[in-house]
Amino acid sequence: MATYRVISGYRGMVEDVVVDASQRGKGIGKKLMNKLLEEGKRQGLDEILLFSGHHRTPAITLYKSLGFALRDSGLYSLKFL
């Protein structure tokens, strides 16, 4: 996860988190994402962003279950309170 500062605070950008097709459905992606979210909170980030293609339905379902919301075409955002 890359982090950067903007006027409104600090953001993280998640890229290329992929679980091998033979290992999908075992909760690995959720564990990886939860670790990223924990690290984002630990670093004091205000928001985490990620891009996902609309055809990646299982991934989008996972992101939404973790609190991410569609912000723009393919851009999902999770704001920490």
Pick the closest to residue 43 from 76, 66, 11 (CA basis): 11
Domain 2-79 has CATH 3.40.630.30: yes
pLDDT tens-digit map of 37-61: 999 999 999 999 999 999 999 999 9
The model's pTM = 0.86
pLDDT tens-digit map of 5-20: 888 889 999 998 999 9
Q: Are 38 and 1 in contact (CB under 8 A)?
A: no
Domain spans, the chain: 2-79
75 vs 53: CA distance, rounded Å? 9
